[in-house]
Amino acid sequence: MDLDHAAVKEEVRKKMTGETIVSMIRILVFPGALFLFVLAFFYEWVDRKFFARLQNRYGPLHTGPHGILQPIADFFKLLSKEDITPHASDKLMFILTPIFYFALPLTTLFVIPILSQTSLVAFEGDLIFVIFAFTLIIITVFLAGWSSINRFSTIGSIRAMLQMLSYEIPMGLATVGPAIVTGSLSISSIVKWQSHNFWLILLQPLGFAVFTICLLAELQFVPFDIPEAETEIVAGWRTEFSGRKLALLRLGKDLELVLASALITSLYLGGPQQFWLIPPIVAFLVKTTFAVMLLSLLRAVFARFRIDQMLSGMWKYLLPLATLQIILIQAGLGG
Partner 1 sequence: MSHGSIIKVPFGPQHPALKEPENFLFEVDGEIVVDVKPRLGYNHRGIEKAFELRTYIQNIYLAERICGICSDAHTTCYTQAIEELLNVEPPPRARYIRVIIAELERIHSHALWVGIAAHEIGFDTLFMYVWRDRETVLDLFEMISGNRIHYAMNTIGGVRRDIHAAMVPKIKKGLDFLEDRLEYYLNVVQTEQTILKRTAGVGVLKPKDAVNLCAVGPTLRASGIKNDVREDDPYAAYDEVPLNVITHEGCDVLSRILVRCEEMLESIKIIRYALDGMPEGIIRVRVPMKVPEGEVVSRVEAPRGELIHYAKSNGTTKPERYKVRSPTLGNIPALCKMLLGGYVADIPIVLAGIDPCFACMDRMAFVDIKKNKEWIWTMQQLRRKYAKK
The three-state (H, E, C) secondary structure of 190-204, written as one string: HHHHHHHCCCHHHHC
Q: Could you tell me the smallest distance in angstroms from the CB atom of residue 306 to partner 1?
A: 4
Using the minimum distance from each CB to partner 1, give the nearer residue, 51 or 284: 51
Dihedral-angle region of residue 274 (phi above 0 means left; psi in -120 to 50 means alpha; beta otherwise): beta
- Identified binder of partner 1 from the candidate list 300, 319, 321, 328, rule CB under 8 A: 300
155 touches partner 1 (CB under 8 A): yes
Residue 154 beta carbon to partner 1: minimum distance, rounded to whole angstroms: 8
Does 233 interact with partner 1 (rule: CB under 8 A)? yes
Q: How many residues bind partner 1 (CB under 8 A)?
A: 28
Among 231, 276, 277, 331, binds partner 1 (CB under 8 A): 231
**DSSP H helical ranges for the chain:** 2-28, 33-54, 70-79, 91-109, 126-147, 151-182, 187-196, 200-203, 205-218, 230-233, 243-268, 280-300, 307-313, 319-330
Q: Does 75 bind partner 1 (CB under 8 A)?
A: no
Residues 171, 131 contacting (CB under 8 angstroms): yes
| Euclidean distance between CA atoms 30 and 257, whole angstroms | 19
Nearest approach in angstroms of CB 101 to partner 1 is: 22
Q: Is 304 in the site for partner 1 (CB under 8 A)?
A: yes
Q: List the Cα angle 215/218/219 in 5-degree steps.
A: 90
Judge contact between 323 and 180, C-beta under 8 A: no
Which of 42, 100, 284, 305 contacts partner 1 by CB under 8 A? 305
Select the span of 51-59, 171-179, 182-190, 259-267 touching partner 1 (CB under 8 A): 51-59
Q: How far is the CB of 195 from partner 1 (least distance, A)?
A: 37
311 binds partner 1 (CB under 8 A): no
Binding mask 88-127 for partner 1 (x = CB under 8 A): ----------------------------------------
User: Is the omega angle on the peptide bond into residue 178 within 30 degrees of 0, that is, cis?
Assistant: no
116-137 CB burial, b ≥16 within 10 A, e <16: bbebbebeeebbebbbebbebb
Closest to partner 1 by CB, 15 vs 306, is 306
Residue closer to partner 1 (CB basis): 5 or 231: 231
Task: Please state, in angstroms and rounded to a whole number, the distance separating the CA atoms of residues 152 and 96.
Answer: 20
Interface ranges with partner 1 (CB under 8 A) = 54-57, 151-152, 154-155, 222-223, 225-226, 229-234, 300-309
